[in-house]
Amino acid sequence: MIHEAVSPADSTDSDKDEIQRFETNDNMTQADDRASRVYVISIDLVSGTDIYAIVAARLEKLGAVRILFSQWACKTWYTSEELRLSIQPVLTPRDRLFIAEINTSNCVGVNMRTDLPQ
């Protein structure tokens, strides 16, 4: 499913409730490996790099690590849709976001900034 970017001002109450749930839910922990998955998150800041620190802080809060210039890896129990709901509010309507679940046992890289989470 492809979603159009929305600015925080255009977010619905439902979107805001979902985002709030991700930011405040302490009942779930990243240590729960039973349902954890690894995602690659690619972001193009079409609007410029002025918001990069904000975007990076959101990704780091989700547990993501930067593996290439504009690509991150994240081991989490969130679904790709939940990640999108958490990341999208800090992007501008012109920025691009792609999230894909990957199989880390079949990945290779050269000169990456860090190893992929296992």
Residues 6+ apart with CB under 8 A from 7: 92, 93
Residue 89 lies in a domain: yes
Average pLDDT estimate for 50-67: 93
27 backbone dihedrals φ, ψ, rounded to 5°? -75, -20
Domain count, the chain: 1
3-state DSSP call for residue 72? strand
Residue 14 lies in a domain: no
pLDDT by residue (tens digit) across 5-54?
444 444 455 555 544 544 544 444 444 444 689 999 999 999 888 889 99
Give the model's pLDDT for residue 62: 94
Instruction: Report the phi/psi class of residue 59: left, alpha or beta, with left for phi > 0 and alpha for psi in -120 to 50.
Output: alpha
Give the model's pLDDT for residue 117: 74
Residue 52 lies in a domain: yes
Contact yes or no for 77/32 (Cβ under 8 A): yes
Amino acid present at 22: F
Give the model's pLDDT for residue 13: 56
Residue 36 lies in a domain: no
Residue 34 lies in a domain: no
Is residue 105's pLDDT more than 50? yes
Q: What is the mean pLDDT of the chain?
A: 77
Residue 15 lies in a domain: no
Residue 32 lies in a domain: no
Domain hosting residue 77, numbered range: 47-118
